[in-house]
Amino acid sequence: ILSGYSDFEYARKALRLSVQDYLSKPITIESLKKVLIQVTSRLAEEQKEQVERERSETERVLSLDYAMNEWLKSLMLRDFADDILSLEGMRNKIAQWENESHMVLGIQFESLEVHVVDETVTCDTIPMPTTIREEIFSILNTASIAHDYVVINSRQHALLLHFPQQLSDGTNEMKAVQRVSKEIENRLFQMWELRVSIGMGSIQSDWRATHVSFEQAFSSILNGNGYSEVHHSGKLRSIRFYHQLAQAIR
């Protein structure tokens, strides 16, 4: 505050308002410059601290997202460790799962490589993984289906779907998931010409058995029983086997 009033009451009110300095006229340019330098330095320091806080929060969220994805993936592949259940985010999720039934929707991207090698495709037309995920989320939210998204590898993703525990025979839920599957296929192709194969697993009443639904979902894709015509010849092993093989090679 720069003021011609030197009354102490004004200065006291200024202090209550967290004013950094109270200058009483007349003053010199040098004294004004000195105070302004102090103020701008303090503001710059506060801004730097704010940026650091926001960055730390972003890193924390990303770290939690990564940990959650890795745990969900390990749950699907029957490799999860009990010690990670101590994390608060996992405990809260599992507490909710105890009152729900679950099924896995497997998604296999068939044309990501085409987007990468096709020189006519610009960067603007290549969807980011987060963009694909958001589009799928919007479809599931419209259908009022609770879900968790899991990245298994670059081509294989999974949706862990949750339903109320009190199911009759699951027929209505299966029909709803079939409609959602077709909608995901159509939307991704219309928007980015991405071809996906989608397979459905069975509904499980216990979240610990989601690996059964996961295996069924991707087996149906590999055997050509999903919603896209994908055929493979020869003996097929479990998805878990191929994942462990890839991990060993890496």
pLDDT at 230: 40
Residues 6+ apart with CB under 8 A from 11: 22
CB 144 within 8 A of CB 164: no
Q: Which of 19-23, 62-66, 98-102, 173-177 shows the lowest mean pLDDT across its residues?
A: 62-66
More reliable by pLDDT, 175 or 85: 175
pLDDT at 128: 65
pLDDT at 44: 92
pLDDT at 217: 92
Beta bridge partners of 198: 107
pLDDT at 68: 81
User: pLDDT confidence of 61, banded at 50, 70, 90?
Assistant: low
Residues 6+ apart with CB under 8 A from 132: 188, 192, 194
Rounded Cα gap, residues 117 and 220, in angstroms = 28
Rounded Cα gap, residues 138 and 3, in angstroms = 57
More reliable by pLDDT, 242 or 235: 242
Nearest 5°: the CA angle 111, 135, 123 is 50
User: Stretch 12-22: mean pLDDT, rounded?
Assistant: 84
Q: Mean pLDDT across the chain, nearest whole number?
A: 80
For the stretch 82-133, pLDDT in tens is 555 556 667 788 888 888 999 999 999 875 554 444 444 444 445 566 788 8
User: pLDDT confidence of 73, banded at 50, 70, 90?
Assistant: confident
Which ranges in the chain belong to alpha helices (H)? 8-16, 29-76, 88-97, 112-117, 129-142, 171-192, 210-222, 239-249
For the stretch 187-238, pLDDT in tens is 999 988 888 999 999 999 888 888 999 999 998 888 775 543 344 445 567 7
User: pLDDT confidence of 158, banded at 50, 70, 90?
Assistant: very high
For the stretch 139-154, pLDDT in tens is 999 999 999 999 888 8
User: Stretch 17-43: mean pLDDT, rounded?
Assistant: 89
pLDDT at 201: 92
